[in-house]
Amino acid sequence: MPSVNKIKYLKSLHLQKFRNEYREFIVEGPKMVSEAIGSDFDLTGIFGLSSWAGRTRDIPISLQKRIEIVTPAELARISYFKTPNEVLATVKIPEISINEHIFNDLVLMLSTISDPGNLGTIVRVADWFGIKHIICSPDSVDVYNPKVVQATMGSIFRVNVYYKDLQEVLSGLPQNLPVFGAFLEGNNIYKETLPGKGIVIIGNESHGIDEQLKPFIPNKIFIPSFSGGAESLNASVATAIICSEFRRNNY
């Protein structure tokens, strides 16, 4: 049974301020905990119902001793969600920084993505398309926000997400690395020749790509609409179609 202080600590991790301070985040539910266990991430604690703990034979013994049994009422207190899902775990936030070698493949840049579901889905999409690195503007939603974590469906353990001033990164890119951005006035993506490496910038759900980044984006692309009415696509949907277009050329 976790102590009162422990419960207080776990609840504090619902907030970005405390995640940044303690460098830990929470993952919830058997699937996410199992993904965390199978990942390179450092799992620091597991809090599960006894019903869940009865089904943990495939958990390494070194981690078994980190399991603390909680009651449904305790789980409800420490869970971020209305409907807690049997178990949650604390995981160390990885200390990663951008290395030039990441630009040998396709890299996503997100300019002020603010919806947690969108960011989580984008991480999942990136994982599907084998994109290992996402650079977010510092004002984007925190990838360790519980809603984002859940929406990644485990892909958070396979994709590196950095927060960095995008102008700074774009200024220091390797020469000749192509930079693409999604714009309403861009070229029809279906007719473009898309490379196997480069940067793809996705804009905010309502305001698109930050004005200040535009000078860095020689390649403006656009997903053509076949409708008279629809004004835009959801940011994660647009990202998925763009990633699919880049990868289909290199399959």
Site stretch for a second copy (CB under 8 A), options 10-18, 22-30, 55-63, 123-131: 123-131
Amino acid (1-letter code) at residue 95: E
Are the C-beta atoms of residues 225 and 182 closer than 8 Å to each other?
no
CB of 149 to a second copy, least distance (A): 15
Interface with a second copy (CB under 8 A), residue from 30, 117, 178, 186: 117
In three-state secondary structure terms, 179 is strand
Interface with a second copy (CB under 8 A), residue from 60, 72, 94, 130: 130
Q: What φ, ψ does residue 42 adopt, rounded to 5°?
A: -95, 110
The site for a second copy, by CB under 8 A, has a size of: 37
Tokens of 89: 């775990």
CB of 172 to a second copy, least distance (A): 27
CB of 212 to a second copy, least distance (A): 27
Considering the complex, state which of residue 45 and residue 120 has its C-beta at the smaller distance from a second copy: 120
Tokens of 120: 């989580």
CB of 9 to a second copy, least distance (A): 28
Report the distance separating Cα 246 and Cα 186, nearest Å.
16
Are the C-beta atoms of residues 89 and 27 closer than 8 Å to each other?
yes
Report the distance separating Cα 249 and Cα 251, nearest Å.
6
Q: Which residues bind a second copy (CB under 8 A)?
A: 117, 121, 124-125, 127-131, 153-155, 157-158, 188, 190, 223-234, 236-237, 240-241, 244-245, 247-248, 251
